[in-house]
Amino acid sequence: YVIVYFYPKDNTPGCTTEAIGFTGILPELQKLNANVIGVSPDSPESHAKFIEKKNLKVTLLSDLDKEVLKSYGKWGKNTFRGKEYIGVTRSTFLINPDGKIAHIWPKVSVKGHPEEVQKILMGLKN
């Protein structure tokens, strides 16, 4: 399984909480044969600093041209605190070993989200 989560920006409060959350349960996810990949439009240098600063164990991919974000439908118009902007829609995809999407979290609230993903993955494995 591959857990692909899309997030807006390195070193911001919600994104940090989410990355630390996935890092914290990564050993359990790996026991379930799952890898975690975070994707944002940040640069590889930004990701390297974020990983080092927060001691992250998840893989972070740079999507500078936003091709991956767009292909998953996660780059576009959003609203935050009543204001519209163009950016990343925080979301997660669980992809099974056959490369098919097994579960989608279209709009994520970061608190408790990694554990929710783990719970769904455990259900699929049983």
Question: Could you give the residue numbers annotated as active site?
Answer: 15
DSSP structural state of residue 72: T
Where do we find the tokens 């591959």?
2
Measured between alpha carbons, how far is 108 from 5 in angstroms, rounded to an integer?
Answer: 9
- The CB-based long-range contact list for 119-126 (8 Å cut-off, 24+ gap) reads 120/94, 121/1, 121/3, 121/29, 121/32, 121/34, 121/94, 122/32, 124/1, 124/94, 124/96, 125/32
